[in-house]
Amino acid sequence: MDYRNLLATGFILLCGAIFIHSLKSANAFPQGPNVSIGSNPVHSFVGQCNSSTPQIFSTTSAGFVITDIVHPDFGYESLLTLSTSSVTLIQDLKENNSNFPVSSFNTGLFIPPNEPLYCYTNYGRNVTISGYYAHP
């Protein structure tokens, strides 16, 4: 065997070994809440939205991601606004001709840690907010 064939075979084996070594393992991204806080991060809150006492809940040291809002008894003239002390999350959410309207958010609405959530309506209405705790 000629030395050129031997070098070519060695080079091909070296390239193959480098290629195999460069492959990375597959990593899946989380599709739902992660349990990194040591407990079940999924939680829901029920409260009455109005303009006189609008605070529904306050987050803890972990932020909260709102995934669903259920507002079953809103009328056509009743609008829902959700906000924190720094930003308005939802402005004038209406009922969509359903007796049990649900608003779902694919990516969620993030409420920062230690931040209160305020819910305003022009009439006192019940609202259920569900989601999960997440680290910022």
Tens digit of pLDDT per residue, the chain (136 long)? 688 888 999 999 999 998 888 887 766 665 555 555 556 678 888 877 777 777 677 777 788 888 888 876 555 566 778 888 888 887 766 655 455 567 777 778 888 888 888 888 777 777 888 888 887 6
CATH number of the domain at 63, please: 2.60.120
Q: Is 95 a domain residue?
A: yes
Q: Is 26 a domain residue?
A: no
Which pTM does this prediction carry? Answer: 0.62
Q: Is 103 a domain residue?
A: yes
Domain that holds residue 75: 42-134
Q: Is 99 a domain residue?
A: yes
Q: Is 116 a domain residue?
A: yes
What pLDDT sits at residue 22? Answer: 85
**Structural domains counted in the chain:** 1
Q: Is 31 a domain residue?
A: no
**pLDDT tens by residue, 2-40:** 888 889 999 999 999 988 888 877 666 655 555 555 566
Q: Is 13 a domain residue?
A: no
3-class secondary structure per residue, the chain: CCHHHHHHHHHHHHHHHHHHHHCCCCCCCCCCCCCCCCCCCEEEEEEEECCCCCEEEECCCCEEEEEEEECCCCCCCCCEEEECCCCEEEEEECCCCCCCCEEEEEEEEEECCCCEEEEECCCCEEEEEEEEEECC
What pLDDT sits at residue 98? Answer: 54
Q: Is 101 a domain residue?
A: yes
